[in-house]
Amino acid sequence: MSRDLPRPSRRDVLRYAGVSAGALALPDCGDNLPAIAPVVATLEVDVRSAVVAAWSAIAGELTVHLEDDATGEPVAEVRSPVGPGGVAHLDVTGLSPGRRYRYRVTGEGTASDDFAFTTAPSPDDARPVRLAVSADLDVDPAFDSPILETLAAAAPDLFVSLGDWPYADNAPGAVTLGEYRQRHLAARGTDKVQAWLRTVGVRAIYDDHEVGNDWDAELGARDPQRVAAALAAWDEWFPVRGAPAEARYRSWRWGAHVECFLLDKAIETSVAQQRVQHTLLR
């Protein structure tokens, strides 16, 4: 697969994402920059599995080292190549319901901090659950608030994001696949967001700002290349199991009392736009 643009360099990450606290010292770097730790999120958590999405500026392959949080016993080790946008999708399966797991991501010359998540209870498990639900995660300093620290302190079982993550249309708005990729990296790679994501698994769908303000079928008809680029970047950073266009609209259960439906704003995306998206990722 060819790349739309080269993966952002370590210097790009420092400029766009501000990742500093999670950086690792690496000797013999020609430009004397730190080696950036992988930018990580735990996605699509269900009863027996989770998908780890991990971006790296320097590794061609990443590995998840998973252990039981209570016992420290190793559970799984999953490897995946880094994709064309710098993101590896590591599908961890064979887990137990309602169990807390901890993991780290490693690759050549890089390693993450510890991340943790809790699998969903069995569908017949009537235990109380605690979900955090929000939207509009904008890392612009003008909108800084303690909300992520507050959510982490509440220790939810799962975080459900209803979109506008990232605000890819903040000036200057993203248009190309490379620009959308950089916006996702900047939004997920900040220290504050990574600190939050180290504590919880995520289920997510987009709204409008991941593409453009109030985007709709009219924008898709007028600028299918832009819409396809935005959705391609979304699928890299928020992978779902199955073909993306069919899998973005989905439902899932969390124990006996919760069923959630995530609705796809792009359900009417034209066949032509899907073909453009496929071409961008080839």
Tell me if residue 107 falls in helix, strand or coil.
Answer: strand
**pLDDT given at position 217:** 84
Residue boundaries of the structural domains of the chain: 10-281
- Residue 102 is encoded by which pair of tokens? 């901890």
Q: For the chain, first and last CA: distance in Å? A: 5
- Lookup: tokens for 123: 């569908």
Structure tokens at 19: 């990742």
219 pLDDT above the threshold of 80 = yes
Cα angle value 265/273/277 (rounded, 5°): 100
> Is the four-CA dihedral 46, 93, 230, 17 of positive or negative sign?
positive
Rounded CA-CA distance 197/193 in Å is: 6
Q: What is the pTM of this model?
A: 0.84
- Phi, psi at 196, each rounded to 5°: -65, -45
| Selection from 27-41, 45-59, 235-249 with the highest mean pLDDT | 45-59
Q: What is the pLDDT of residues 153-199, one digit of tens each?
A: 999 999 999 999 999 999 999 999 999 999 999 999 999 999 999 99
pLDDT band of 252, cuts 50, 70, 90: very high
- So what's the pLDDT on residue 25? 36
Give DSSP secondary structure letters for 222-246: H-HHHHHHHHHHHHHHS--SS-HHH
Interacting residues of 177 by C-beta distance below 8 A, sequence separation 6+? 4, 5, 85, 229, 232, 233, 280
The CA dihedral of 234, 92, 203, 96, to the nearest 10 degrees, is 170
Pick the CATH number of 10-281 from 1.20.1530.20, 3.30.565.10, 2.60.40.380, 3.40.50.720: 2.60.40.380
pLDDT score recorded for residue 266:
55
Alpha-carbon distance of 147 to 138, in angstroms, equals 12
Which residue has 């990729």 as its token pair?
Answer: 181
The CA distance from 250 to 256, in Å, is 18
Q: Is the pLDDT of residue 57 over 90?
A: yes
DSSP annotation of 84 reads T
